[in-house]
């Protein structure tokens, strides 16, 4: 779900950088409000590496192949650290693998990072579920919806950006068919990501629950 260079206009790229800069500033401001902002850096670094590697693991889902995104997992576990962590991962993916590009780094930051922040808010709803369910079950359910929603929202943002910015000299009908197929392939990925996020959170809940945001 990386937007490559050469598809969207320079105006959209600039707007992407502007929104990403504001979101990064907001995330860092919230991080600095914590008693010890540096304490979570090792955890953020580890999950940044996982996010970076995930793009190399492709899952064949006809008519295309997709890869794990993990933005929901980062949002769930890292909270506001997720956005800068994703930006760092996207930068190295663009430089080393050619996934996306430097001109579209801001746009891709929005696609991946904003849903991660939403995933964090969804996961925090586990406190609401605890009124009816036990702690482990409420965390797993919230984590599932956080992981699935993050991928779903990222897919929608990607779809809207790409479908409205297809270059006029391309075969628009063919490109739209390909984009629709790619979007459909991400529907089962939402479920996969939701289950994976719930499994990771359930494991953390058992062995080191203090890692999860309170």
Dump pLDDT digits (tens) for 163-200: 887 777 777 777 777 777 778 877 888 999 999 999 99
Q: Is the pLDDT of residue 30 over 60?
A: yes
Q: Is the pLDDT of residue 48 over 90?
A: yes
Q: 68-77, 103-112, 132-141, 159-168: which range is least confident on average? A: 132-141
pLDDT, residue 129, reads 60
pLDDT, residue 147, reads 95
Q: 47-56, 85-94, 113-122, 194-203: which range is least confident on average? A: 47-56
pLDDT in tens, 130-172: 556 666 778 888 999 999 999 999 999 998 888 887 777 777 7
pLDDT, residue 125, reads 83
The average pLDDT across 26-48 equals: 92
Task: Render the chain in DSSP notation, one character per residue.
Answer: -PPPTTTS-HHHHHHHHHHHHHHHHHHHHHHHTSS-GGGGHHHHHHHHHHHHHHTT-EEEETTEEEE---HHHHHHHHGGGHHHHHHHHHHHHHHHH-SS-STTHHHHHHHHHHHHHHHHHHHTTHHHHTTTS-HHHHHHHHHHHHHHHHHHHHHHHHHHHHHT---TTS-HHHHHHHHHHHHHHHHHHHHHHHHHHHHHHHHHHHH-GGGS--
Which of 88-121 are b and which e, b meaning 16 or more Cβ less than 10 Å from the residue's Cβ?
A: ebbbebbeeeebbbebbbbbbbbbbbbbbbbbbe
Q: Is the pLDDT of residue 62 over 70?
A: no
The average pLDDT across 98-105 equals: 87
Indicate the pLDDT class of residue 58, thresholds 50, 70 and 90: low
The average pLDDT across 79-92 equals: 95
Question: What is the fold of 10-207?
Answer: Arp2/3 complex 21 kDa subunit ARPC3 (1.10.1760)
The pTM of the full predicted model, rounded to 2 decimals, is 0.88
Percent of the chain residues topping a pLDDT of 90 = 50
């Amino acid at each position: 779900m990386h937007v490559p260079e050469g598809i969207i206009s320079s105006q959209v790229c600039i707007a992407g950088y502007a929104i990403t800069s504001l979101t990064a500033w907001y995330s860092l401001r919230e991080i600095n409000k914590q008693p010890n902002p540096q304490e979570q850096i090792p955890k953020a670094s580890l999950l940044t590496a996982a996010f970076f590697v995930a793009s190399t693991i492709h899952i064949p889902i006809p008519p295309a192949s997709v890869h794990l995104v993990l933005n929901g997992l980062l949002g769930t576990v890292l909270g506001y650290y997720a956005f800068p962590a994703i930006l760092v991962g996207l930068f190295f993916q663009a430089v080393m693998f050619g996934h996306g590009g430097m001109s579209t780094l801001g746009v891709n930051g929005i696609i991946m990072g904003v849903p991660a922040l939403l995933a964090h808010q969804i996961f925090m709803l586990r406190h609401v579920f605890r009124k009816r369910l036990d702690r482990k079950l409420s965390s797993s359910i919230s984590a599932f919806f956080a992981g699935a929603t993050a991928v779903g929202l990222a897919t929608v943002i990607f779809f809207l950006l790409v479908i409205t910015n297809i270059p006029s000299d391309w075969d628009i009908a063919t490109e739209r068919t390909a984009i629709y197929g790619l979007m459909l392939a991400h529907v089962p990925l939402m479920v996969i990501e939701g289950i994976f996020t719930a499994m990771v959170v359930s494991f953390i809940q058992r062995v080191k629950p203090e890692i999860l945001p309170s």
